[in-house]
Structure 1
Amino acid sequence: MSFERLLNDYLICDIDEIYFEVTENICHLMDVDKSIQYIDGTKIEANANKYSFVYKTRILNARMKLFSKITHSITEMNMERGFDFSYHYFYCAQEIGYIAQYFMEVMVSNGIEPVYGRGKRKTKIQRWYDLFLEYYMKLDEYEYWLSVIGKDRNSCSKTDLDATMCAAKIDYYCKTGLSRPCYNVQIAVSDGLIVNADLFQRPADAKTFIPFMERYKQYTGEYPTYPMADAGYGNEDNYMYCLTHGMELYMKYAMYAKKNEPKFRKKKYNPYNWKKNEEGYKVCPNGLVFDQNIEDIYDERGEYLKIKQRMTSQESCEGCPYMEECCRSRKHRKIVTRDVVLDEFYAVVDENLSTEFGKELKRQRSIQVEGAFGVIKQDMGFVRFTRRGLKNAKMEFLIVCLGYNLRKYHNYRLRKEKEDRKKSLFN
């Protein structure tokens, strides 16, 4: 009971401050360089039934079918009863509830008692009442689950409403590859210590980077100089965020490793393998320069505005000997997409990672952050949360990370004492 009161009354509210304060002291004692942080994430299964899933897409499709049924019922009811209820494309549960309430008031005013069961014959007005009451209850259920899932998620679990259904990897702990209710845990490791940790409800890692860095800035007052992450974090929003906050670009992108594979380099009709002229325009294998801008595509979905250009050549591709293999469009005109800003970011990342320092960062990332997850999952046996809810699961994971850091410091202290004893014996 003492541990339960400690967890529920104190740690669940102050676990962030406690974690960063203890970790800061350990970093100071171990002389950890926090300017270099190796970042990665993994999915840890939530304490929820794996078959209690709710998907937003299924709800939206079922709701659209229900809308069409409601429209048909309202039209039929107006023609039969002479009512003037309005019908449209979308409905809310409250609107349908008013219709069901109206039928109930009509039944009460006419002294009609609702009957149910075998051998009982319903009146026509009760049939309309039961039908719209069923519509109301179903719409209310759909609206409830859509409010639980929210805008940033596509699914949830009925057992743990904060958990998100994720496609867990097929590894030692998950041999089926099914979607499971999970939390996306993110850690940042510096010199073997977990200096930042947090939980997210997003399955992908790309959109967790900015809030993860803002969390570190909130509790430490600084940003890391060299955030190193894998290709799952390399997009234009994260690169722009690093550039505006004084962080170097060392995160790989999706095509970083694949673009140098011999099998991919042989695909000469892929615009990614085309060469560029002095002006930066792509040149196809037949020598056509794609320098004609058809249109600009503006993307405002992320943190920053992204502009992509659709480019084509001044000459038509008709008559080109490679047209059948290269140009799949029936208009005989190849169109390629260009993002000037993102291409410049990729060039900077390639240059940084090609240096000896960049190669060492790539090597250490796979050692340190993957090793930390290995210790947490394999050695500490933390493969599933025991508490439900985002706050409770976050508290549990931060306590695990604190235990990891304390174990690191304990081993460091023992090594240092052993080295001091050896020095004293030789002296």
Structure 2
Amino acid sequence: MARGKSLIVSFKSNHQHQGMLLPPDLSELVGQNHPVRVVSDVLDKVDIGQLIQQYKPGGASNYHPRMLLKVLVFAYINNIYSSRKIEEALHQNINFMWLSGMSKPDHNTINRFRGKRLQKSLQPIFTQVVLLLCEEGVLSLKELYTDGTKIEANANRYTFVWGNSIKTNKAKMQQQLNELWKYAQTIAAAELDDDHDPSGFDKIDSEKIEQTIATINAALKDKPIDKKIRQKLGYAKKNWPPALERYAEQERIIGDNRSSYSKTDEAATFMRMKEDHMKNGQLKPAYNLQISTNNQYIVNYSLHQNTTDTNTLQQHLNIFRDQYGKNPANITADAGYGSEQNYEWLEKKRITAYVKYNHFDRDQRRKNRAKNPYRTDKLTYNHEKDSYICPCGKTMKNIGSYEHVTKAGFKQTITKYRAGNCNGCPLRSDCHGQKGNRIIEVNHNLNRLKRQAEKRLKTKRGIQKRKQRCHDTEPVFANIKHNHLFKRFMMRGLDKVSIEAGLLALAHNLRKRTA
């Protein structure tokens, strides 16, 4: 460098305040291969006639539902779930501006569209997108891989109602009512009407409580009684009838398939949430999201209030049939779905089931196969004589059957077998701990279905299916929850939360399509 020459730093010119003759075309600012273009192109092909029917003619003009749908889906693709943040993006983000054509609906409009307009029309739109992907050859509707996950509800974690608590309180109430009745009988038995004797009630309600307390008060009206008894009767008359009306309403909300609900979102059930890799967690109001995938695309989704996966499968697959007009050829699922009810239903629907039963993995280990040779399933069964052979080699005869109804209302037939004489048997202490002769209970239909499932799962195709399930469904949940940070629903109520589940599924498929 020459002596005396100074080094000058050069900068690019800044035209921040320079005016423009024409505003820029937003289309030129959006890349040709940008995901927003894929979202727009795919949703332009979808028939939204059912969505348009949600609007009434007349009145002020509305934002076009196709535009709002595109904005919502693209927002979910970009981890924007709040209606206020979507509104903000429409003012600041070039991709959102291009997608909306510079329209700027506010957060109330966005929330109304998401919570009301999409209730009956989102699932058909999702189905159309899946069929478009199917035409492209990226997925198949014949083979499903099914699993479920729990996602926290938008509800207070500490305001809840438990079904067992209601039963306990009603039982205490009935017990105290019986005690008051017995006390009244010791003083004025002749003046009591036996029709109001609470010991004969199958269940109590507010009307029965009022009548019984009125009968007790009338009988003890002029009698000298303990002051504490008079106070109990006054408390019962004032508080028990409204409490029972409240319990009846709470039991109606809980229904037959749940054990709890949240007061701030009555559709949410308290479920055990897995908070970390050690599966530690706590009870939180949540929903059970079920999905079926193929090639890591979601082809079917459904939302449930059940805490376990077992009783969700039939409804989930019925939704699949309603949307696509046919059943899948086969389904692969983990042991959470392996019940007699599900096996039998899949068999009737002619759906090949690669579904584990609860002890499948344990039974495959050599140690567990050899463990406890006295277990019922280790005993030899004689089909011709309908009898079992006990470990000592003696016959266990059929002594009858009975019907057992599960919590889901499914009827099971259980058959009982009894050994002839266990006295003096050298194996008795190891064989069983029953007082008399050993009695075993067997569900033959479930055993038959388990044998079929085990045989199918051990085939070369079954092994491949079991491996593929882990690669197919679980990464989808990991992507939604951890990569895209959706761990809590924004809306409340089963219908509205189902819309969010559909938007998540639709966003996942389009995100994967653009990858």
Range into which the TM-score falls when normalised by the shorter chain: 0.7 to 0.9
One-letter identity of the residue aligned with 2:373? K
**Does the 8 Å CA contact 1:40/1:229 hold for their aligned counterparts?**
yes
**Does the 8 Å CA contact 2:335/2:358 hold for their aligned counterparts?**
yes
One-letter identity of the residue aligned with 1:158? K
Whole-angstrom distance in 2 between the partners of 1:336 and 1:96:
45
Instruction: Describe the superposition over 1:224-279 as per-residue Cα deviations: whole angstroms up to 9, x where unpaired.
Output: 11111111111111111111111113211012111232332221122223344575
Q: Does structure 1 residue 21 correspond to structure 2 residue 134?
A: no
* Deviation of the 1:288 alpha carbon: 2.6
Equivalent in the alignment of 1:226: 330
1:258 corresponds, among 362, 383, 398, to: 362
Whole-angstrom distance in 2 between the partners of 1:337 and 1:126:
52
Q: How does 1:132-281 map to 2 (within 5 A)?
A: 132-171=237-276, 176-264=280-368, 265-276=370-381, 279=384, 281=387
Q: Does structure 1 residue 283 correspond to structure 2 residue 424?
A: no
Change (3 A) 1:129 1:158: same
Whole-angstrom distance in 2 between the partners of 1:131 and 1:175:
45
2:514 corresponds, among 393, 404, 410, to: 410
Q: Does structure 1 residue 329 correspond to structure 2 residue 434?
A: yes
Instruction: Give the TM-score of the pair, scaled to structure 1.
Output: 0.83
Task: List runs of 5+ in structure 1 lacking aligned partners.
Answer: 104-121, 412-427
One-letter identity of the residue aligned with 1:387? M
**Does the 8 Å CA contact 2:403/2:413 hold for their aligned counterparts?**
yes
Whole-angstrom distance in 2 between the partners of 1:70 and 1:168:
40
Aligned residues: CA RMSD: 2.9
Whole-angstrom distance in 1 between the partners of 2:410 and 2:191:
51
**Does the 8 Å CA contact 1:164/1:183 hold for their aligned counterparts?**
yes
Whole-angstrom distance in 2 between the partners of 1:407 and 1:44:
20
* Deviation of the 1:161 alpha carbon: 0.8
* Deviation of the 1:91 alpha carbon: 2.7
1:92 corresponds, among 187, 196, 205, to: 205
**Does the 8 Å CA contact 1:163/1:183 hold for their aligned counterparts?**
yes
* Deviation of the 1:80 alpha carbon: 7.4
**Does the 8 Å CA contact 1:30/1:409 hold for their aligned counterparts?**
no
One-letter identity of the residue aligned with 2:340? E
One-letter identity of the residue aligned with 1:47? N
Whole-angstrom distance in 1 between the partners of 2:170 and 2:375:
41
One-letter identity of the residue aligned with 2:445? V
2:119 corresponds, among 5, 8, 12, to: 12
Equivalent in the alignment of 2:413: 307
Equivalent in the alignment of 2:62: none
Change (3 A) 1:247 1:188: same
**Does the 8 Å CA contact 2:206/2:245 hold for their aligned counterparts?**
yes
Question: Hey, which bits of structure 1, 4+ residues long, moved more than 6 A?
Answer: 80-83, 98-103, 124-127
Instruction: Describe the superposition over 1:42-76 as per-residue Cα deviations: whole angstroms up to 9, x where unpaired.
Output: 11111122222211111101111112223444666
1:51 corresponds, among 123, 146, 158, to: 158
Greater relative CO (CA pairs within 8 A, separation 6+)? 1
Whole-angstrom distance in 2 between the partners of 1:207 and 1:400:
23
Structure with larger Rg:
2
1:362 corresponds, among 454, 466, 469, to: 466
* Deviation of the 1:175 alpha carbon: 6.8
Whole-angstrom distance in 1 between the partners of 2:206 and 2:364:
55
Change (3 A) 1:91 1:216: same
Change (3 A) 1:126 1:336: closer
Q: What SS class does the counterpart of residue 473 from structure 2 fall into? A: helix
Change (3 A) 1:101 1:30: farther
Change (3 A) 1:127 1:287: closer
One-letter identity of the residue aligned with 2:270? M
**Does the 8 Å CA contact 2:387/2:398 hold for their aligned counterparts?**
no
* Deviation of the 1:403 alpha carbon: 0.4
Change (3 A) 1:128 1:403: same
Change (3 A) 1:386 1:311: same
**Does the 8 Å CA contact 2:149/2:289 hold for their aligned counterparts?**
yes
Change (3 A) 1:9 1:56: closer
Instruction: Describe the superposition over 1:384-426 as per-residue Cα deviations: whole angstroms up to 9, x where unpaired.
Output: 1121111111111111111001112112xxxxxxxxxxxxxxx
Change (3 A) 1:322 1:17: same
Q: What SS class does the counterpart of residue 400 from structure 2 fall into? A: strand
Q: What SS class does the counterpart of residue 438 from structure 2 fall into? A: coil
Whole-angstrom distance in 2 between the partners of 1:295 and 1:176:
44
2:451 corresponds, among 347, 351, 366, to: 347
Task: List runs of 5+ in structure 2 lacking aligned partners.
Answer: 1-107, 217-226
Whole-angstrom distance in 2 between the partners of 1:175 and 1:357:
31
Whole-angstrom distance in 2 between the partners of 1:128 and 1:330:
48
* Deviation of the 1:96 alpha carbon: 3.9
Whole-angstrom distance in 2 between the partners of 1:208 and 1:126:
49
One-letter identity of the residue aligned with 1:404? H
Whole-angstrom distance in 2 between the partners of 1:24 and 1:309:
47
Identity fraction in percent: 27
Whole-angstrom distance in 1 between the partners of 2:172 and 2:363:
45
Change (3 A) 1:48 1:304: closer
Q: Which moved more, 1:84-93 or 1:126-135?
A: 126-135
Q: What SS class does the counterpart of residue 151 from structure 1 fall into? A: coil
* Deviation of the 1:2 alpha carbon: 3.3
Q: What SS class does the counterpart of residue 159 from structure 1 fall into? A: coil
